[in-house]
Structure 1
Amino acid sequence: MKKLKRKKDNAGVGENGNGSTRDADCGRKQKLAEIHQALFSDPVDIETLRRAAASKGGLLTDEVRRKVWPKLLNINVYDLPYKPGRKVRENHKDYNQVVLDVRRSMKRFPQGMAASERATLQEQLIDIILEVLKHNPQLHYYQGYHDVAVSLLLVVGERMALALLNKLSNFHLRDFMDPTMDSTKHILNYLMPILEQVDAELHDFMNRAEVGTIFALSWLITWYGHVLSQFKHTLRLYDFFLASHPLMPIYLAATIVLYREKEVKQTECDMAMVHHLLSRIPQDLPYELLIGQAQHLFDQYPPSLLAKRAALQPRKSLSISTFQAFQLSTLHQRPDNVLQRLTRAEDSTTPRHGLEAALPQDGGQLWGQGNRMVKMAVWGLSATLGAAVFAVAQTAMDWGPEVLLQLF
């Protein structure tokens, strides 16, 4: 027993004997406790959740993301949209392009995933995208939109992914979904003014090379999901972006260019050469460092200052102009345990409707008042099987947030 005890103690000490691993574990547990407390506060402590998502390590696990992401976007987990139906595909103008993009997205799914499982998720992805477009005719599909959708799907499942994607499309991603690229170009135009404020020499070099900002287009419109090979890095950035201003992806792009300043300046001052270098994003970037620097740049050079100095103000960005109202809307949310009680009370006084009414009688009892705990137990089991399995299992049931709140 003593030998095992010593081994356990050593496991919590870094190689230099300073206890760094143990300190990291303590920091992780403290962060989880703070997130847990913020989720149970009434109203939900959104500012604490935003700080947790932006700070080192982000939201740490997919289980935590399934609880926090909806709160960051002001989504009631007991009032989700219905499961997308296949009828939405009929005669949809974007159907063929969406299918082509989704079929080409194989690298976005975990390695080793069974082909049948991936095929199921791809069909769900098609339905989610088309459902958002159907209910928001003012939005226009763009190539790369599916990269955002699949990142959400793999973490939260089909119905919640639909709710998150719908909210993001009307706020953070709104400028990319105009009928033209004008609004997207407007967002890209914030990149060079940031560089000019921080490193005038690098800014002048890129201007002489006439490289422009198109190298960062795929970074911006996919929230880096298309260009990063490791999903954990994508999720870390999504934590950050979901908790931040819609322009934060462009501030991160600036920090990446600044981080590669020596490489850029050592390249031949030629448009093709500089574009080739910058468009291939390194896979070993120090993400935590860059996230911290992006936040610092945003605080030091806010969008309003950049717009004024670079004469960007005349063009109105819907993502920017609606963000303050969006932020305010997130501040008065009830915790999930309260929402659940309210939903149960409503269910006991109102007839079955929506998804519950559509269920066959022999299977509908799972959604009944007397069997909710069965449903929640099954949901909790699916959450332990990993994000990919959860995404498939989620199509068979509604959410049970209280189960997640017990997973700390």
Structure 2
Amino acid sequence: MEPHGSPLEESETGVSRQDSSSPSRLAEKHDTKTAAIIRACNRQDLESLRSLATSEGGLVSDDLRRRAWPLLLGPTEDPRDDWRELPKHRDEDQVELDVNRSFIFYPNDQSAKDLAKRKKELSELITEVLRRQPFLCYFQGYHDICQVFLLVLEPLRRAPVVARLSTLRIRDFMLPTLTPALAQLRLIPSILYAVSPKLYHHLSQTQPFFALSGTLTMYAHDIQEYGDIARLFDVFLAREAAFSVYMFAQIVLQRSDELFETPADEPEMLHSILSKLPQPLDLEALIKNTVGLIENHPPESLKPWSLISKYSVLKTTRRPGLIVEQTLEFGEQDFRQQVKELERAERQEKLLQQLWKYRRPARTIGFAVAVAVLSFWIRRSQVTTGIFEALWHQLSQYKKA
């Protein structure tokens, strides 16, 4: 009996709730999961490993993460050449500036000498990855991600594993522009609309850029506790790339009461609220709810999904197991295809600006002729339908003027 005389409730396994939370039961649960993770690693049972990484408690400890994270990201090759002899990457100066600002929150038991050693290791890790994959573009916040891998993995495993992460999992963020990263954020309003049209309309004047820091850095820039960010990385590496976007949408949904207290016509205030993660953050509940969110409202059901490049990591990792089948060469090919798309979009934007700038000569030669020339150019240049519609709208408005 409990102190108030009510009987202890039993779980489906017949263990009372009080017993299940006792130190002995927690230790037994920990040992059982540890054994399951080791077994999955030994057998390279990735499906079980992904399930264990997502379930409550994640991969339990850094000792187990050292074995599991490389498996979740796929096979690596040990390079034989010395990265120090490779050409310098164009972003190395920025890397040094950011590394000097690293290890702010963790580890917090380091001496000044130990911290300097950590920073040197972090600089070398990032530099090696960039020199071996010179096509990648460094972004501020990348060092936040890398420092977590540095703290978890053994020295020889760090660069090969981070190279796969960079090329195959967060490639969209390492392109020459942030356009693909911002395209990911466009999914958030659609997710909100699918779950809560009321909240969607309340935030309709607020752009989803508030989620950039979290999604860009796998939340490593915003989470201050090492155990929490390591736990989040467990699930991020086990799930598809879209999971981190859905997680931010879930955070927004869970803050709906707070957000409704701020008027919809104050987007700056709403942005300020949303750009900071709530404290405390119940990670286990958040992960569980995000799993349900992505299952109930998959990316394919969202309107902006069709606008996401087929070369985006959101689509190339749509099924979690796909990443282990991909090579660094595959990632580089997709990177270059994405760059071509960005360059084509930039040319189209310049065309739109030029046509609008010189719209009066279009009247001189005749509206119909201008549209005919434009249509011919579009067919040759593979301009997207959206650009054509924008041009048609502007030219039509001019014709009416």
For residues 310-332 of structure 1, the C-alpha deviation after alignment (integer angstroms, 9 at most, x for no partner) is 36436334213322688246389
Q: Does 1:151 align with 2:151?
A: no
SS in 2 for 1:171: helix
Distance 1:243 1:117, change over 3 A: same
Q: Which whole-Å CA distance do the structure 1 matches of 2:221 and 2:278 have between them?
A: 13
Q: Does 1:31 align with 2:22?
A: no
For residues 310-368 of structure 1, the C-alpha deviation after alignment (integer angstroms, 9 at most, x for no partner) is 36436334213322688246389xxxxxxxxxxxxxxxxxxxxxxxxxxxxxxxxxxxx
For residues 200-243 of structure 1, the C-alpha deviation after alignment (integer angstroms, 9 at most, x for no partner) is 11111000xx2211111010011111111111110110000000
**Aligned to 1:310, which of 295, 300, 304?**
304
Asked which structure has the greater RCO (Cα within 8 Å, sep 6+), the reply is 1
For residues 34-91 of structure 1, the C-alpha deviation after alignment (integer angstroms, 9 at most, x for no partner) is 11221222xx110010001010000010000001011111135xx4346975455x74
Q: Does 1:176 align with 2:170?
A: no
Q: Does 1:102 align with 2:96?
A: no
Between stretches 215-224 and 317-326, larger displacement belongs to 317-326
Q: Does 1:248 align with 2:248?
A: no
Distance 1:63 1:117, change over 3 A: same
5+ residue gaps in structure 2? Answer: 1-14, 327-401
State how 1:7-18 maps to structure 2 within 5 Å.
Answer: none
SS in 1 for 2:104: helix
State the one-letter code of the partner of 1:45: D
Q: Is the 8 A contact 2:316 2:322 kept in 1?
A: no
Distance 1:325 1:59, change over 3 A: closer
TM-score by length of 2: 0.72
**Residue in 1 that maps onto 2:66:** 66
Between stretches 90-99 and 114-123, larger displacement belongs to 90-99
Q: Does 1:226 align with 2:228?
A: no
Q: Does 1:212 align with 2:198?
A: no
Q: In angstroms, what is the RMSD of aligned CA positions?
A: 2.4
Q: Which whole-Å CA distance do the structure 2 matches of 1:266 and 1:214 have between them?
A: 21
Q: Is the 8 A contact 2:168 2:323 kept in 1?
A: no
**Residue in 1 that maps onto 2:56:** 56
Q: Which whole-Å CA distance do the structure 2 matches of 1:251 and 1:325 have between them?
A: 15
Q: Which whole-Å CA distance do the structure 1 matches of 2:82 and 2:226 have between them?
A: 25
Q: Which whole-Å CA distance do the structure 1 matches of 2:169 and 2:254 have between them?
A: 25
How far did residue 32 of structure 1 move? Answer: 1.2
How far did residue 157 of structure 1 move? Answer: 3.2
For residues 269-325 of structure 1, the C-alpha deviation after alignment (integer angstroms, 9 at most, x for no partner) is 21111011111112311110010011111111111222xx23643633421332268
**Residue in 2 that maps onto 1:80:** 78
Q: Which whole-Å CA distance do the structure 1 matches of 2:59 and 2:251 have between them?
A: 22
Q: Which whole-Å CA distance do the structure 1 matches of 2:112 and 2:57 have between them?
A: 31
Structure number, greater radius of gyration: 2
Distance 1:315 1:92, change over 3 A: closer
State the one-letter code of the partner of 2:249: A
Q: Does 1:238 align with 2:236?
A: no
How many residues align? The count is 311
TM-score by length of 1: 0.71
Q: Which whole-Å CA distance do the structure 2 matches of 1:292 and 1:242 have between them?
A: 15
**Aligned to 1:279, which of 275, 279, 293?**
275
**Aligned to 2:108, which of 92, 107, 111?**
111
Q: Is the 8 A contact 1:81 1:162 kept in 2?
A: no
Q: Which whole-Å CA distance do the structure 2 matches of 1:65 and 1:20 have between them?
A: 26
**Residue in 1 that maps onto 2:342:** none
Distance 1:288 1:330, change over 3 A: same
State the one-letter code of the partner of 1:248: F
For residues 231-256 of structure 1, the C-alpha deviation after alignment (integer angstroms, 9 at most, x for no partner) is 11101100000000011111110111
Q: Does 1:323 align with 2:325?
A: no
Q: Does 1:164 align with 2:161?
A: yes
For residues 89-128 of structure 1, the C-alpha deviation after alignment (integer angstroms, 9 at most, x for no partner) is x743211110001101131431120111111111111121
| Regions of 4+ moved over 6 Å | none
Q: Is the 8 A contact 2:241 2:318 kept in 1?
A: no
Distance 1:265 1:214, change over 3 A: same
Distance 1:141 1:117, change over 3 A: same
SS in 2 for 1:107: coil
**Residue in 2 that maps onto 1:380:** none
**Residue in 2 that maps onto 1:372:** none
Distance 1:150 1:22, change over 3 A: same
Q: Which whole-Å CA distance do the structure 1 matches of 2:275 and 2:82 have between them?
A: 36
State the one-letter code of the partner of 1:304: E
Distance 1:18 1:106, change over 3 A: closer
State how 1:294-373 maps to structure 2 within 5 Å.
Answer: 294-306=290-302, 309-310=303-304, 312-313=306-307, 315-323=309-317, 327-328=321-322, 330=324
**Residue in 2 that maps onto 1:400:** none
